[in-house]
Amino acid sequence: MASRRIRLLLTNDDGIYSEGLLSLARELKTDYDLVVIAPNEQKSGASHSITIHSSLMVEKLCISGLEGIPCFSVTGTPADCVKLGLSTLCGKVDLVVSGINHGNNLGADTFYSGTVGAAFEGCLMGVPSLALSKRVAGNYESYEPSIKWSKHALRFMCKEIENGARTCDLLNVNFPDLPDSEIKGARFTHLCSNVFEIESYYKISDCEYGIPKWGHPNSNFEDCDVNWLLEGYVTMTPLQIERCNCKELKRLQNMFDKELINGDG
């Protein structure tokens, strides 16, 4: 009996017709069952936001090179696409794959990124997820190396699932903008802990300000995603839903209880 094919929900924040998403989908279609659900327009920076005050309009599309594969555009955020897909449009999938994003998502990027937000929505709905992003610095425009390494990351996550060793909710993967021959390998590493260095918002008029240029988070910490990517490595960082600083719970409880006992009332 033939083994069941892994089923993937593909999404992104660059929009349904972005090169990174469609190139990846066309490469994966021979080995995986796919459903593609993505925003109808650019939604970078949407983070993990969802639509709550309006309806979502959905259009089923026929996209060249993906004939026979369900493809939907949605007038919502990347997280909307995943929530709508898993709950209504496509049902059970084995993995959510978000990307390949046009631009890296390193360090503090992960708080703002719609690519990462969509992957986190998959995790919240009980599905392990991959967030895939390509650095864009004008060195190498082709997505081919990123697709090759995306397939490595995808196979790795699938093996984790098959072996019952799912200890990673989300794997955040970034690719250098280099030809494959110059990519040195992959490194599991920390997120850069420093915030962005950005220029000030610039004034256009009394009621309008222009968006500044955003650079990399800067870090003196050698073992982090920013530094490894700039050294020519694919970076892989496991992320999780839990945001509680669990190490501090007991200490803070004890201090608060003492404050209540020693306080005036």
Structure tokens at 49: 């936001």
The length of the chain, given as a count of residues: 265
Structure tokens at 223: 């073992």
H/E run at residue 180: none
Q: Tell me, yes or no, whether 224 lies in a domain.
A: yes
Question: Which residue shows structure tokens 């892989």?
Answer: 236
CA angle, residues 234, 71, 24, in degrees to nearest 5: 20
Q: Considering its fold, how many domains does the chain have in total?
A: 1
221: domain CATH number? 3.40.1210.10
Q: Tell me, yes or no, whether 1 lies in a domain.
A: no
H/E run at residue 207: none
pTM as predicted? 0.92
Cα–Cα distance for residue pair 11/9, rounded to 1 Å: 7
Given a contact cutoff of 8 angstroms between Cβ atoms, the answer to whether 90 and 11 are in contact is no
Cα–Cα distance for residue pair 214/198, rounded to 1 Å: 5
Question: Which residue shows structure tokens 């280099």?
Answer: 178
pLDDT at 215: 62
CA dihedral of 236, 47, 195, 175, whole degrees rounded to 10: 30
Other beta carbons within 10 Å of 125 = 15
Given a contact cutoff of 8 angstroms between Cβ atoms, the answer to whether 145 and 175 are in contact is yes
pLDDT at 123: 95
pLDDT tens-digit series, residues 144-154: 999 999 999 99
Q: Tell me, yes or no, whether 43 lies in a domain.
A: yes
Closest to 238 in 3D by CA, of 164, 129, 139, 98: 129
pLDDT at 1: 43
Structure tokens at 136: 């864009």
Other beta carbons within 10 Å of 189 = 21
DSSP 104-148: ---TTHHHH-HHHHHHHHHHHTT--EEEEEE--SSS---SHHHHH
Q: Tell me, yes or no, whether 2 lies in a domain.
A: no
pLDDT tens-digit series, residues 22-55: 999 999 999 999 999 999 999 999 999 999 999 9
Q: Which amino acid is at 12?
A: N
pLDDT tens-digit series, residues 136-180: 988 899 999 999 999 999 999 998 888 876 667 899 999 999 999
Given a contact cutoff of 8 angstroms between Cβ atoms, the answer to whether 86 and 38 are in contact is no
Given a contact cutoff of 8 angstroms between Cβ atoms, the answer to whether 78 and 21 are in contact is no
- Residue 141's domain comprises 7-262
Given a contact cutoff of 8 angstroms between Cβ atoms, the answer to whether 95 and 132 are in contact is no
Contacts of residue 39, Cβ cutoff 8 Å, sequence gap at least 6: 12, 13, 15, 16, 73, 74, 75, 76, 77, 78, 80, 81, 114
Closest to 97 in 3D by CA, of 80, 74, 118: 118
- What residue ranges of the chain have pLDDT lower than 70? 1-2, 165-167, 194-199, 214-221, 264-265
